[in-house]
Structure 1
Amino acid sequence: MSFDLYLMCCNIMIYGFKSNVNQGLLRKRDVIGLLKNEEIISNKIFNIFINEELDLLY
């Protein structure tokens, strides 16, 4: 996975989150849950990216 693809995935998640907030579709509890889920997903994507980049070094 390229770093550009990683950034694109992060931007898609952020855009979706912002549009839901702007439409007033989320309660505070939902916002906190979504932020936690997005952090977990972002970390997983980042770990995949880092592992693939490290594999290229060997």
Structure 2
Amino acid sequence: MNDSYLIANNLGTTILTMEKQFNVTQRTIERWMQLLREENKIEFKGVPKTGGYWKINTNIE
């Protein structure tokens, strides 16, 4: 499965949803998201305080 599959196919998914689906802790999900950000596969759009969303980068070289 592609690393960003869950995000791409479940827009608006939350960390809580991912925790339950993968049976892992919030911290584990945060580490996974950090890795995807570092690999420039995803980016966060919006303001974290009031909400936002994760966007899949399609311009990966």
Q: TM-score, normalised by structure 1?
A: 0.34
Question: Which structure has more helix as a fraction of its residues?
Answer: 1
- Look at both structures and tell me which one has the larger radius of gyration over its CA atoms: 1
Question: Which structure has more strand as a fraction of its residues?
Answer: 2
